[in-house]
Chain A
Amino acid sequence: MKKLLGILGLFIVVFGFTAVQNPKFISAYNMENLLNWTGLFGILGVGAAFVIITGGIDLSIGSVVGLVGCLLPLFIMDHGVPVPLAILSVMLIAALIGLTHGLLITKLNLQPFVVTLCGLLIYRGVARFITADQTMGFGNTHGDLRKLATGKLAIPGLTEATKFDLPIPFLILFILMVVGAIFLDKTIWGRYLLALGRNEQAARYSGIKTDRLTIMSYVICSTLAGFGGIMFMLDLNSVQPSSHGSFYELYAIAAAVLGGCSLRGGEGSIIGVVIGMAVLRLLYNASNLLGIPTQLEFTIIGAVILAGAIVDEVAKRLVHRMRQAKQQR
């Protein structure tokens, strides 16, 4: 919980600062957009968190997003596969990718970094090959299906002036967050996962089936990446096989770490990851609305996150020291 305070504080500071500087920032339109992007990227972040909590890493998330983004329109538009079957198939493919990663890492003892880095290269190549580098999309068709990502849920009881619609991707992320948080904190499997991340050997000696849990975490991660891939595809309706989803794994990993996950494993909370992703998207949005030159965007985002991390760490040390002083007295 304490870990959450730091990132939440950063969120509030940036949010408040931007709102004061440019009132349009808190317009319903902008908030809806911000929630939409947080929802889309957050789905990837939640998946990444599960792997990071076990002390692993998944670098293939962006490529899975790209592959799924190509496969879905390919199945539906080019091969006439019915929509539900197409969605099910691409999700299954994503899950199988995760299963393969998990098996290679646990049974062959390969490094997660190597396995998923190779995944990153392989799936990107496959996506480009099967589409012959053609931009994929639904054109003007499948508007109803696309509502899954572009749709908005009107919040009842609001007047026209205060109208605010909740983007569906954020709603999905919210549900994922609740389910994920309950799973991680309240179920025995979740506790095992954290234990395994902190000390795999100790967890194994105490009778936890660590291999099975590790495999599960990679399956969750890739499946969510696949689901996120569907959502991104539906939202953008324009998928360039060579670049769609590139670097998204870094956003996912960054959000997870910002949200309190330790890259050494054993620590992390799902709510933190969602807030972490919200901070990332907020920084992009804010830098735009504050009129920061497009060239400086990354610099500002990097600097703000770094400043947040430094303040967080210094504050923690101060609290620790004060507590020690109290105990000595």
Chain B
Amino acid sequence: MKNLLLMAGLACLVGITGCNGNGDGGSGAGGTTGGAAEQDEFGPIKTGSVGEDEKPTVSFVTNGIASFWVVAEAGANKAAEDVNADVLVKMPAEGVADQKRILEDLLTQGVDGVAVSAIDPSGQQDILNEVGENTIFITHDSDSPFTNRCAYIGMDNYDAGRMAGKLVKEAIPDGGEVMIFVGRLEQLNAKLRRQGVIDELLDREPDSSRYDEPGKPVEGEKYTILDTRTDGFDFAKAKAEAQDAINKYPDLKCMVGLFAYNPPLMLEAVKEAGKTDDIEIVAFDEEDGTLQGIVDGHIHGTVVQNPYEYGYQSVKMLAELARGDSSSVPEDRFMNIPARQIRKDNVIEFWTELNQLLGKEPPEGAAETSKKEGE
């Protein structure tokens, strides 16, 4: 553990010096990103020299493929329209290797700016710094703080985790055993959300750098976090993990799913076990299955991000930077797009709005169910 911290510290130092160094180099670099570089405590903000009437080409790179990113894509496209830019939305299908290939291809194309959701922030530093050296580089959704990125647009995942922890407290006020399920723990957002949930349940002081090793139960006064299980994005495995937890822990009171696809599969497992009355579910994100689960009363609530704004603000900021305007970059380099809690009382409203963004019909099943309940 100590070694890990040391390494993280070193990486941080390297990252900061790297950022400064790159900035100096960047101001002299040719091409579309050869504009001025402003100096402040975080190092320079790289800007481009695209003319007001010219159309900058920027790219929005996700960390995978999901309906979450389809919403972000809608935001990115809207921003491109509003700020007169071309946007290339790229979704890597096969993890880190695929994302690297996409980033390399974008650099080859010579785009004016790239916004990336880093799959593995520390492991991908080389390629991410390479992006920052060659073009305007910001992160969204999942940050990579130790690289030369100019800014991060997203939510504070630790805070979001604490929001989910609060939902758990509402769902099981008397305390009990809690399990956490997630696709993979290598991602910073997964780690922070998990830690947020744990810290909130244990009523600890906020400290996002804390890390409880997974695999060992974390015991608090009222709540015990038994384990965190990962499934590597395999849906069948995700469901099997939930089933195994239900079987292994007869006193399990609450399951928390940190990635979008986890909660609907957890709910399937709970339903099949006939334990919808015994096990509460707290979710992240806005899969249809999750929202339907909230409508039906089987899922207590979910913490949702605002992917539309991630897409919109990323493209807007990149286009402005490409034109030499760095006024939209906050001083602390973090544009917070806060998370929201969705419970039974506001789920229909949220769902309808979401489907509008996706160009889908309003949630039919939801409307019917709420009607039935009203009768």
Contact = CB atoms under 8 A, between A and B. Distances in A.
B9 to A, nearest CB: 24
B233 interface: yes
Nearest to B213: A293
B65 A284 contact: no
Interface string B256-268: 0000010011001
B264 A237 contact: yes
A244 B234 CA distance: 7
Interface string B58-71: 00000011110110
Interface string A260-302: 0000000000000000000000001100110001110000000
Interface stretch (B23-31, B193-201, B239-247, B340-348): B239-247
Interface in B253-282: 261, 264-265, 268, 272-273
Interface in A25-45: 27, 29-30, 33, 37, 40
B93 A30 contact: no
Contacts of B264: 237-238
Interface residues of B, number: 40
B65 A27 contact: no
B239 A236 contact: yes
Nearest to A30: B247
Contacts of A289: 244, 247-248
A319 interface: no
B122 interface: no
Contacts, number: 103
Contacts of B240: 33, 37, 284-285, 288
A132 B264 CA distance: 21
Interface string B82-121: 0000000001010000000000000000000000000000
A243 B233 CA distance: 8
A295 to B, nearest CB: 8
A256 to B, nearest CB: 19
A137 B296 CA distance: 17
Interface string B226-246: 001110011111011101101
Given A237-B268, A238-B261, A238-B287, A135 B247 contact: no
A240 interface: yes
B227 to A, nearest CB: 8
A141 interface: yes
A252 B123 CA distance: 32
A217 interface: no
A141 B236 CA distance: 20
Contacts of A30: 243-244, 247
Contact of A240 (B235, B243, B273): B235
A80 interface: no
Contact of A139 (B236, B248, B289): B289
Nearest to A288: B244
Nearest to B264: A238
Given A236-B236, A243-B233, A243-B234, A140 B292 contact: yes
B214 interface: yes
Interface residues of A, number: 38
B234 A134 contact: no
A313 interface: no
A29 B246 contact: yes
A149 to B, nearest CB: 11
B130 interface: no
Contact of B268 (A133, A139, A236): A236
A240 B268 contact: no
A232 interface: yes
B288 interface: yes
A33 B268 contact: no
B365 interface: yes
A241 interface: yes
Nearest to B231: A294
Query: Which residue, A22, A40, A135, A244, has most C-beta atoms of chain B within 10 A?
Result: A135
Contacts of A24: 247-248, 250
A285 B244 contact: yes
A141 B365 contact: yes
A284 B237 CA distance: 9
B279 to A, nearest CB: 13
Contacts of B236: 37, 40, 232, 235-236
Contact of A238 (B241, B246, B289): B289
A151 B236 CA distance: 17
Contacts of B272: 150
B215 interface: yes
A27 B230 CA distance: 23
Contacts of A235: 236, 239
A242 interface: yes
28 contacts: A24-B247, A24-B250, A29-B247, A33-B247, A37-B240, A132-B70, A133-B66, A135-B66, A135-B261, A135-B287, A139-B289, A140-B369, A150-B268, A235-B239, A236-B235, A236-B236, A236-B268, A237-B289, A238-B261, A238-B264, A240-B65, A241-B65, A242-B64, A243-B65, A246-B234, A247-B234, A289-B244, A293-B215
Given A135-B288, A239-B235, 8 more contacts: A27-B247, A133-B66, A235-B236, A238-B287, A240-B233, A240-B235, A293-B215, A294-B229
Interface of B: 64-67, 69-70, 91, 93, 214-215, 228-230, 233-237, 239-241, 243-244, 246-248, 250, 261, 264-265, 268, 272-273, 287-289, 292, 296, 365, 369
